[in-house]
Chains A and B, each alone.
Chain A
Amino acid sequence: MKKNILYPIYILWLRQLKRYFRSKSRMIGSLGQPIVFLVALGFGFGPVFAKAGGGNYIQFLSPGIIAMSIMFTAVFSGIELIWDRQFGFLKETMVAPVSRMTIMFGRTLGGATTATIQGIIVFIITIIIGFRPDIFAILWGLLFMFGISIVFTAFGTAIASTMEDMQGFGLIVNLVNMPLFFLSGALFPLNTAPAAIQWIAFINPLSYGVDGLRGAFTGISLHSIGTDASVIAIITILFLSIGAWLFSKVEV
Chain B
Amino acid sequence: MNSSISVKNLTKTFKGGLVAVNDISFDVSKGSIFAFLGPNGAGKTTTIKMLTTLLHPTSGSLTLNDMDPVKHPHDVRESFGIVFQDPSLDDELTAYENMFFHAGLYGVPRSETPAKIEDMMKFVELWDRKDSLVKTFSGGMKRRLEIARGLLHTPSILFLDEPTTGLDPQTRNYIWDYIKKLNEERGLTVFFTTHYMEEAERSAHQVAIIDHGKIIASGTPASIIASTGTANLEDAFIKLTGKNIREQEAGSVDQLRQMRQAWRGVRR
Chain B residues in the interface with A (C-beta under 8 A): 52-55, 73-75, 77-78, 82, 84, 86-93, 97, 101-102, 104-107, 252-253, 256-257, 260
Contact residues, A57-85 vs B (CB, 8 A): 84
Q: How far is the CA of A134 from the CA of B41 in the complex (A)?
A: 64
Q: A residues within 8 A CB of B252? A: 86, 164-165
B89-A98 in contact (CB<8A): no
Secondary structure at the A interface, as helix, strand, loop or mixed, is helix
- Can you spell out 26 A-B residue pairs with CB atoms less than 8 angstroms apart? A1-B78, A7-B107, A8-B105, A10-B104, A14-B101, A15-B90, A15-B97, A19-B90, A19-B92, A86-B257, A88-B87, A91-B84, A91-B86, A92-B84, A93-B105, A95-B77, A95-B82, A96-B102, A97-B73, A97-B75, A97-B105, A98-B74, A98-B105, A164-B252, A251-B54, A252-B54
Q: A residues within 8 A CB of B84? A: 88, 91-92
Residues of chain A at interface, number, CB under 8 A: 33
Contact with B along A178-216 (1 / 0, CB 8 A): 000000000000000000000000000000000000000
Closest to A98 in B: B105
Residue A22, interface by CB 8 Å = yes
B91-A87 in contact (CB<8A): yes
Closest to B103 in A: A11
Q: How far is the CA of A15 from the CA of B101 in the complex (A)?
A: 8
Q: How far is the CA of A1 from the CA of B107 in the complex (A)?
A: 10
Q: A residues within 8 A CB of B73? A: 97
Contacts A86-B256, A166-B256 given: A15-B88 contact, CB under 8 Å? no
- Min Cβ gap B139→A in Å is 13
A88-B54 in contact (CB<8A): no
B88-A97 in contact (CB<8A): no
Q: How far is the CA of A166 from the CA of B106 in the complex (A)?
A: 30
- Min Cβ gap B90→A in Å is 5
Contacts A3-B107, A15-B101 given: A88-B89 contact, CB under 8 Å? yes
